[in-house]
């Protein structure tokens, strides 16, 4: 079965990661079973978004048949500059999605710059993947409140609540058609609940690969004993990612 990982990171020097080249990461991901990956910065979640957007684009430029790059911006920076960086990332770097991490980037979803950024992302056709599941800035319903105000923008909960807030992620998915759920970091018992309660078309496979070692194979293994049909698995592993970013 083909597998696209909708939540990976380009390893830099932050968070104890060891930097690798685009060649090395692709080989690592392919050998673990992936046929493609949405990839986001790691170091850019700590600062210097423009520089790190450049580094990500450069790092994977020879592998655009495998990686789908996501840029980042910092909402706490001046809004016009942030929107310009978003446009530049699409126009000059070929970025196809936006990653935001309210916890690490230290902004609330109620920050006045957030909605303009989300609207601009929608205009540019970029899905926005949020880190979520972590109070005080990244709970599913905080993100859902913003998603409600930008119905034309595709919003992805990058962890679907992680552990404790997965039930809120399910509620957010039910209420807002523009919310999709990436099941990165979710365990088998919760994955079963997402599959039982949510439209299969809005579920995505993800692992945070690149952020740590050996995250892909254990995550795939977690789906295999669930008794889920191949049709549903194919949607989660592959088709839904392809539908959002062909």
Partner 1 sequence: MRTNVIDSAVRLPAKDGRIEVDDWFALAERWGISHTVASPPDEFVAVYNDEGNALMADLVEQYPNRLSGLAVANPWYGKKAVDSLKKAFERGLCGLYLHPPRQGFQLAESVLDPLIEVCMEYDKAIYAHTGTPICAMPFQLAELARRFGEATFVMGHMGWSDFAGYDAIPAAQQSPNILLDTSYTTTGLVKGAIDAIGVDRVLFGTGYPQSRPGPEFEKLKPLNLPDDIFNKYANENARRVWRIKT
User: C-alpha 195: how far from its chain's center?
Assistant: 19
Please choose, out of 21-29, 70-78, 167-175, 188-196, the segment that lies near partner 1 by the rule CB under 8 A: 188-196
Work out the end-to-end distance of the chain between its first and last CA atoms, rounded to an integer number of angstroms: 18
CB-based contact 168:145 (threshold 8 Å)? no
Please say which residue, 115 or 228, places its beta carbon nearer to partner 1: 228
CB-based contact 142:167 (threshold 8 Å)? no
Please choose, out of 77-85, 112-120, 144-152, 213-221, the segment that lies near partner 1 by the rule CB under 8 A: 213-221
CB 219, min distance to partner 1, A: 7
Distance (Å) of CA 90 to CA 37, 115, 241: 18, 18, 19
Alpha-carbon gap, residue 159 to 107, rounded angstroms:
18
DSSP string covering 32-80: TT-SEEEEEESGGGTS-HHHHHHHHHHHTGGGTTTEEEEEE--TTS-HH
Please choose, out of 38-46, 87-95, 211-219, 235-243, the segment that lies near partner 1 by the rule CB under 8 A: 211-219
Alpha-carbon gap, residue 205 to 219, rounded angstroms:
9
41 binds partner 1 (CB under 8 A): no
242 binds partner 1 (CB under 8 A): no
Q: Which of 30, 134, 141, 148 binds partner 1 (CB under 8 A)?
A: 134
Pattern 83-122, binding to partner 1, x per CB under 8 A?
Answer: --------------------x-------------------
135 binds partner 1 (CB under 8 A): yes
15 binds partner 1 (CB under 8 A): yes
Both tokens assigned to 134: 């972590």
Q: Which of 2, 91, 217, 242 binds partner 1 (CB under 8 A)?
A: 217
Give 224's strand partners: none
167 binds partner 1 (CB under 8 A): no
Q: Which of 47, 197, 218, 243 binds partner 1 (CB under 8 A)?
A: 218
Contact residues for partner 1, defined by CB under 8 A? 15-16, 103, 133-135, 159, 162-164, 185, 187-190, 212-215, 217-219, 221-222, 224-225
């Amino acid at each position: 079965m083909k597998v696209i990982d909708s939540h990976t990171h380009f390893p830099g020097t932050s968070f104890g990661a060891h930097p690798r080249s685009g060649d090395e990461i692709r080989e690592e991901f392919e050998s673990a079973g992936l046929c493609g990956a949405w990839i986001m910065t790691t170091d850019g979640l700590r600062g210097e978004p423009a520089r790190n957007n450049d580094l990500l684009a450069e790092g994977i430029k020879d592998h655009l048949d495998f990686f789908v790059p996501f840029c980042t911006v910092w909402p706490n920076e001046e809004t016009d500059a942030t929107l310009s960086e978003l446009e530049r990332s699409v126009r000059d770097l070929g970025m196809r999605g936006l990653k935001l991490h309210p916890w690490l980037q230290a902004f609330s979803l109620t920050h006045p710059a957030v909605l303009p950024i989300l609207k601009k992302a929608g205009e540019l056709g970029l899905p926005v993947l949020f880190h979520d599941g972590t109070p005080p800035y990244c709970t599913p319903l905080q993100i859902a409140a913003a998603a409600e105000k930008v119905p034309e923008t595709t919003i992805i909960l990058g962890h679907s609540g992680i552990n404790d807030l997965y039930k809120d992620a399910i509620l957010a998915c039910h209420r807002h058609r523009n919310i999709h759920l990436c099941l990165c970091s979710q365990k088998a018992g919760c994955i079963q609940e997402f599959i039982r309660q949510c439209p299969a078309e809005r579920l995505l496979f993800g692992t945070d690969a690149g952020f740590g070692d050996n995250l892909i194979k254990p995550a795939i293994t977690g789906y295999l004993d669930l008794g889920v049909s191949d049709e549903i698995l194919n949607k989660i592993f592959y088709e839904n990612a392809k539908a959002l970013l062909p």
